[in-house]
Amino acid sequence: MAKMTMVQALNLALRQEMGKDDRVVLLGEDVGVDGGVFRVTDGLIEQFGEERVLDTPLGESGIAGMAIGMAVYGLHPVCEMQFSGFSYQAFHQIENHAARMRWRTQGRLSVPMVLRAPYGGGVRALEHHSESREAYYAHTPGLKMVIPSGPRNARALLVSAIRDPDPVIFFEPKAVYRAYREEVPEEEETLPLGKSTIVREGHDLTMITYGAMVRPVLTAAEDLHQKGGVEAEVIDLLTVSPLDDTLFTASARKTGRVMVVHEAPRSFGPGAEVVARLVEKAFYYLEAPIARVTGYDVVMPLFSREKHYLPHAKRVAAVARRLLREG
Amino acid sequence: MPREKLNLDQPIETLAILDAEGSVDKELEPSLSNELLLDLYRAMVLGRRFDERLLALQRQGRIGTFPPTSGQEAAHLGAVAALREEDWMVPSFRETAAEIWRGRSLESVIMANNGFNEAATVDPAGPTLPNSVPVGSQMLHAVGIGWAARYRREETVVLTFFGDGATSEGDFHEAMNFAAVFQTPVVFVCQNNHWAISLPRSRQTRSKTIAQKALAYGMPGIQVDGNDILAVYSAVKEAVARARSGQGPTLVECVTYRMTMHTTADDPRRYRSDEDVEGWKAKDPLARFEVYLQKKKLLTKKNIETTNEEVLARIQKAVENAEAQMKSMGDPLDMFDHAYAEIPPHLAEQREELAAEIAAAGKEGGDG
């Protein structure tokens, strides 16, 4: 198995799916000759030609709207929003059409498209390049909202997203893009959409997170273990919507103490839905109030302050210790 | 470096073949079969009479809000008549007669306008997208469909409709631009009906014509008399041929008029004068086509009467059918269908919740 960065793993997923299925075409700004500003689509135009890797004019609505038409015609377009912060210019296409075409046509037509977008902070980027607005998409019926956390699951989830019969919004944590390498098998690997996973087992505390926050949460869990023998269970959602609540509600029943960690703003964020599910399905097992460690409800600050905005391992561990003392 | 006039070498043409009195320009007259001419005539009559009936049904509370089409029949029927069956139509929401031309049932129109989403789709399953309400947004879907058809080496052409108001939307720009850059086989048909709810065409654009906007995108543009079905047909036919032969998109501006309201929720007397409307009544697309066909000896006063009677009978039957069908439609649980290919667990739970509520209400003998 080769060790790959997330960028390389995503590239592998695209390359293999394009090789297997001529319905898969890529479109976006700078995805062709330039290979994408993060190089996720590097080399694909050389391998598959301009016909399957479309460098589009600037225009996010154009990219999403055109992809909807392609999907209606039977293709499986994968479009790239250069940064998720620009995807709002395509939002009306996604909400008004991609998410509804199956429903509107009573299943006659569907929109099997993937909209990829790098999201999140931590790379000292410009304004509009660091936000985590997955809640907009998770809140929209008809969409699936997927966020991988590492190279291997990114590859497996992207393959599943491309093959999915419904529109998938696929947010890629750009802070993880080149942060580390992981073994990624050359042979095909998929992960089901709508399924979470336990990445660290434990019985004292449940930590629920996804995307770029999985690493700081694991670091915090390790710290809790080393400095106090606490065994935290860490759950990676992988798919934000439809939300798989089976593992985290079971875990909450076991530990009685739960925290949710994400870099998106707190109010009405994905954590709010997680907490609501816990209240509905595990309330009587809880021994302490559920804690949320999240981005603040402010405009994502420019990068000189982003380290204070983004949840980090020390903050997560501190909240976890408080949670363990409560109740 | 002198300062000179740049020759863009692309004229914007206008086209009118059949005038308001029904006189035809013999040189420009397209050669349509008598059969097609009469089919188009019947479709126009059907469009007009059905629109009137829908308005009556709405006023009687038998259907909900809908967007009337009277006065615009030539613009949308002339356009789709130039398509092949396998070509795609990507409509806005004021092309009812064209949808019916392409196979949508009158029943489906009635049921969709009465709030039944099972009828919001088009029938039969042909290459037509359903109505698109967010103004201008559908134009991009036409570009994607056209691109995909070329990718599949198919000859399919895509025709998309929009209004003058849509040309103010960003999606108009992105669709025109993407279509031209990728040379997709798309025909952009603007039904310039002069009004976007309360705002006149002059409040949408300072351009002298909408057709000239094509120039900026590097595609041909033509302005036609949209109440002249022969002109619309001819211009669109040309655009379709261009698209099919790989020469890319065209913008066709059909100058027409919305004779009634934007939707039945709107009162046009608040923003436009009766004189304005009266002036356009004299340019009616149906009346002039009738005169033309009479002059061609394809139609007599008697035929006109018979056609209208047949059309009214068809409409009456459709209303009866639709109203009978609607009695057994509308299972509330259907709202959970087709959200996704497979229903996810949270939706299954919510569906159960509603099913239980309905069952409980049934036991109480209430209406839920």
For chain B, say whether A73 makes contact (Cβ under 8 Å).
yes
**For residue A57, is the peptide bond before it cis, meaning its omega torsion is within 30 degrees of 0?**
no
Q: What is the pLDDT of residues B145-175, one digit of tens each?
A: 999 999 999 999 999 999 999 999 999 999 9
What pLDDT is attached to residue A312? 97
**For residue B249, is the peptide bond before it cis, meaning its omega torsion is within 30 degrees of 0?**
no
pLDDT of B367 over the 60 cut: no
Shortest distance, CA B48 to any CA of chain A (angstroms): 26
Segment B116-123 mean pLDDT: 70
What is the identity of the amino acid at B126?
A: G
Pair A156, A122: CB distance under 8 Å: no
What pLDDT is attached to residue A181? 98
- Tell me which chain A residues have a C-beta less than 8 angstroms from the C-beta of B138: 97
Q: What is the pLDDT of residues A56-84, one digit of tens each?
A: 999 999 999 999 999 999 999 999 999 99
Closest CA to B311 of B53, B57, B109, B46: B46
Contact B337 A106 (CB under 8 A): yes
pLDDT of B122 over the 60 cut: no
From CA B274, how far away is CA B281, in angstroms rounded?
Answer: 10
Q: Quote the tokens at residue B94.
A: 């004021």
Q: Quote the tokens at residue B32.
A: 């349509």
Provide the angle, in degrees to the nearest 10, between the axes of the packed helices B34-59 and B285-295: 150
What pLDDT is attached to residue B363? 85
Segment A83-104 mean pLDDT: 96
Q: Quote the tokens at residue A188.
A: 């095909």
What is the CATH topology of the domain spanning A2-184? Rossmann fold (3.40.50)
B336, closest residue in chain A (CA to CA):
A103
From CA B259, how far away is CA B15, in angstroms rounded?
Answer: 22
Pair B106, B315: CB distance under 8 Å: yes
CA dihedral defined by B288, B292, B294, B297, rounded to 10 degrees?
-170
Please list, in sequence order, all residues whose beta carbon lies within 8 angstroms of the beta carbon of residue A113, skipping any fewer than 6 positions away. Answer: A67, A68, A70, A71, A76, A77, A78, A79, A98, A167, A168
Q: What is the pLDDT of residues B124-133, one digit of tens each?
A: 567 999 999 9
From CA A14, how far away is CA A8, in angstroms rounded?
Answer: 10
Shortest distance, CA A295 to any CA of chain B (angstroms): 26
pLDDT of A218 over the 50 cut: yes
What pLDDT is attached to residue A190? 98
pLDDT of B219 over the 70 cut: yes
- Tell me which chain A residues have a C-beta less than 8 angstroms from the C-beta of B171: 61-62, 65, 93
For chain B, say whether A166 makes contact (Cβ under 8 Å).
yes
Tokens 């995108």 locate to B217
Segment A226-245 mean pLDDT: 97
Q: Quote the tokens at residue B288.
A: 């002039």
Active site residue B271: yes
Q: Quote the tokens at residue A326.
A: 């409560």
Domain residue extents for chain B: 13-327, 332-364
Shortest distance, CA B291 to any CA of chain A (angstroms): 40
**CATH code reported for the domain at A197-325:** 3.40.50.920
Pair B146, B179: CB distance under 8 Å: yes
Identify the CATH assignment for B13-327 out of 3.30.450.30, 3.40.50.970, 2.70.170.10, 3.90.1640.10.
3.40.50.970
- Tell me which chain A residues have a C-beta less than 8 angstroms from the C-beta of B152: 73
Domain residue extents for chain A: 2-184, 197-325
Mean pLDDT of chain A, nearest integer:
97
Q: What is the pLDDT of residues A14-69, one digit of tens each?
A: 999 999 999 999 999 999 999 999 999 999 999 999 999 999 999 999 999 999 99
Q: What is the pLDDT of residues B291-315, one digit of tens each?
A: 999 999 999 999 999 999 999 999 9
Band (pLDDT 50/70/90 cuts) for residue B368 is very low
User: What are the residue ranges of helices labelled H in chain B?
Assistant: 34-59, 73-80, 96-101, 106-112, 139-151, 170-182, 213-217, 229-244, 274-281, 285-295, 301-327, 345-364
pLDDT of B245 over the 80 cut: yes
Pair B121, B103: CB distance under 8 Å: no
Mean pLDDT of chain B, nearest integer:
94
Residues of A catalogued as catalytic:
129
Please report the sign of the dihedral spanned by the C-alpha atoms of residue B349, residue B354, residue B357, residue B359.
negative
Grouping H, G, I as helix, E, B as strand and the rest as coil, residue A206 is strand
Segment A122-128 mean pLDDT: 92
From CA A191, how far away is CA B72, in angstroms rounded?
Answer: 52
Q: Of all residues in chain A, what percent are helix, strand and coil, respectively (each to 5)? A: 40, 20, 40
What pLDDT is attached to residue B330? 86
From CA B33, how far away is CA B39, in angstroms rounded?
Answer: 10
What is the identity of the amino acid at B120?
A: A
What is the identity of the amino acid at B226?
A: G
From CA B207, how far away is CA B192, in angstroms rounded?
Answer: 13
- Bridge partners (DSSP) listed for residue B242: none
Q: Quote the tokens at residue A291.
A: 């804690």
- Rounded to the nearest angstrom, the gap between the alpha carbon of residue A311 and the centroid of all alpha carbons in its chain is 16
Closest CA to A65 of A15, A22, A115: A115
From CA B110, how far away is CA B104, in angstroms rounded?
Answer: 11
- The continuous run of DSSP H or E covering A182 comes out as strand A182-184
From CA B316, how far away is CA B310, in angstroms rounded?
Answer: 10
What pLDDT is attached to residue B117? 82
Percent of chain B whose pLDDT exceeds 90: 92
Please list, in sequence order, all residues whose beta carbon lies within 8 angstroms of the beta carbon of residue A143, skipping any fewer than 6 positions away. Answer: A94, A98, A99, A137, A166, A167, A168, A169, A241
Give yes or no on whether A2-184 and A197-325 have one common fold.
yes
pLDDT of A295 over the 70 cut: yes
Grouping H, G, I as helix, E, B as strand and the rest as coil, residue B144 is helix
| Mutation for B interface: A60, A106, A274, most B CBs within 10 A | A106
Provide the angle, in degrees to the nearest 10, between the axes of the packed helices B139-151 and A60-72: 60
Closest CA to B186 of B151, B229, B236: B236
From residue A14, give the alpha-carbon distance in Å to each of A11, A45, A154, A193, B95.
5, 11, 11, 17, 40
- Residue A56: DSSP 8-state: P
Contact B340 A102 (CB under 8 A): yes
Q: Quote the tokens at residue A47.
A: 């391998």
Please list, in sequence order, all residues whose beta carbon lies within 8 angstroms of the beta carbon of residue A153, skipping any fewer than 6 positions away. Answer: A191, A197, A236, A238
Q: Quote the tokens at residue A216.
A: 């700081």
Q: Quote the tokens at residue B15.
A: 């086209």
Band (pLDDT 50/70/90 cuts) for residue B365 is low
Band (pLDDT 50/70/90 cuts) for residue B335 is very high
Contact B341 A72 (CB under 8 A): no
From CA A10, how far away is CA A33, in angstroms rounded?
Answer: 17
What pLDDT is attached to residue B9? 77
- Rounded to the nearest angstrom, the gap between the alpha carbon of residue A70 and the centroid of all alpha carbons in its chain is 24
